[in-house]
């Protein structure tokens, strides 16, 4: 069974290729969901996969791309009824 988790990544994560990094990482892991910039300067990721795969995603989100600085990643479990689409997408800013 797939879990759904929301990640809020805080630090220097906008303007440094973080969304593209998250998209590539999620696609490589075979996740469904999306990533977007938030107006407060954070990046939000919503992803669905088996729990072990989501744990791997979280580890990679904490590392981030070369130019980023991840200060904190907030994680919350979400309802599995989320509409995530067929693949992983970059969404418009929220």
Catalytic residue numbers? 19, 37
Crossing angle for the helix pair 18-29 and 51-63, to the nearest 10 degrees: 150
Residue 10, SS3 per DSSP: strand
Other C-beta atoms lying within 10 Å of the C-beta of residue 8: 17
């Amino acid at each position: 069974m797939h879990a759904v988790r929301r990640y809020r990544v805080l630090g220097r994560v906008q303007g440094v290729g973080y969304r593209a990094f998250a998209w590539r990482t999620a696609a490589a892991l075979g996740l469904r969901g999306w990533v977007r910039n938030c107006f407060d300067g954070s990046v939000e990721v919503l992803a669905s996969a088996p729990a072990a795969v989501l744990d791997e995603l979280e580890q990679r989100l904490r590392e981030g791309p070369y130019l980023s600085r991840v200060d904190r990643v907030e994680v919350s479990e979400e309802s599995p009824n989320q509409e995530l689409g067929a693949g992983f997408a970059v969404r418009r800013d929220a």
